[in-house]
Amino acid sequence: MPSKALHALIAVGTGRYADPWHPFAETAAAADEILRADGFDVTVDDDVDHALAHLDDVDLLVVAAGDPWRNAPEGTADPVPYRDAAASAGLARALDAGIGILALHAATASLRDYPQYREAIGGEWTAGTSWHPPIGPATIPVADATHPVTAGLETIELFDELYSDLVVDPGAVVLVKHEIDGVSHPIVWAREQPVRAVVSAFGHDARAYESPTLRTLIRQAARWAASAD
């Protein structure tokens, strides 16, 4: 009897998780196609908080969403956290059960109302510090090809934004990093505590996902994060 397919849920940035720069529906569709082609059972939810509340029996949470605090009311000195009780409880249950996480691009700044997400992914985009050069073609060397996420890859060749000066926690394993003016900038990393999580800060729009090497990385990242054995 064939084994049961792994179940991925893609949380897509709309509403307070949307922004003017990122076509989240487009990049979520690319991730959906990659995962389905690899045998995943995929659910797509364009209500992020609803998705977090419904993670039971989900093996992999894929976050393709932006920073909700950017949508704080005009004139608000500091963002007012909006923490949905059902979403917070659902995410906590899923993390306790060992769900995997794959955070894509602007997801490095997402789910700010749920600090357990930030802890799980092991890094973030920091407003006022993190940045990126203009979008364009790039060839980025793989820093660690021994990890299952980057196995078989020497470089990532794509058309994309290269996030820079991201915060990466000491417990994360940096897998891909790019260099600007002699300074290295981690852009893909993985960690195994408290759950398996992979951050791929690649993927501004669908053009990035036309890259065979990025598609391989996403496929391997999803499979590794979702399979805790």
pLDDT at 75: 61
| Token reading at 111 | 């789910």
Answer yes or no: is 2 within a domain: no
Q: From CA 106, how far away is CA 21, in angstroms rounded? A: 10
Give the orientation angle of helix 212-226 with respect to helix 24-37, to 10 degrees: 70
Answer yes or no: is 123 within a domain: yes
Answer yes or no: is 1 within a domain: no
pLDDT at 69: 87
**pLDDT digit string (tens) for 92-144?**
999 999 999 999 999 999 999 999 999 999 999 998 999 999 999 999 999 99
Q: From CA 193, how far away is CA 105, in angstroms rounded? A: 21
DSSP E strands: which ranges in the chain?
A: 7-12, 41-45, 60-64, 100-104, 123-124, 136-141, 155-160, 167-168, 173-180, 183-191, 197-200
| Token reading at 100 | 């995997």
70 or 188: whose pLDDT is higher?
188
**pLDDT digit string (tens) for 160-194?**
999 999 999 999 999 999 999 999 999 999 999 89
Answer yes or no: is 201 within a domain: yes
> CA-CA distances (angstroms) from residue 7 to 22, 62, 112, 136?
25, 11, 24, 33
Answer yes or no: is 137 within a domain: yes
CATH code for position 199: 3.40.50.880
Answer yes or no: is 105 within a domain: yes
pLDDT at 1: 41
What percent of the chain shows pLDDT beyond 70? 94
C-beta of residue 198 within 8 angstroms of C-beta of residue 190: yes
Average pLDDT score over residue span 203-227? 98
pLDDT at 228: 62
pLDDT at 83: 79
Q: From CA 107, how far away is CA 189, in angstroms rounded? A: 13
pTM over cut 0.85: yes
**For residue 205, pLDDT beyond 90:** yes
pLDDT at 72: 67
Structural domain harbouring 51: 7-226
**pLDDT digit string (tens) for 25-43?**
999 999 999 999 999 999 9
| Token reading at 50 | 């609803």
Check residue 78 and report its DSSP letter. S
Answer yes or no: is 146 within a domain: yes
Answer yes or no: is 20 within a domain: yes
For 29-42, b where at least 16 C-beta lie within 10 A, e where not — what string? bbbbebbeebebeb
* Residue 4 confidence class, pLDDT cut points 50, 70, 90: confident
* Residue 74 confidence class, pLDDT cut points 50, 70, 90: low
**How many structural domains compose the chain?**
1
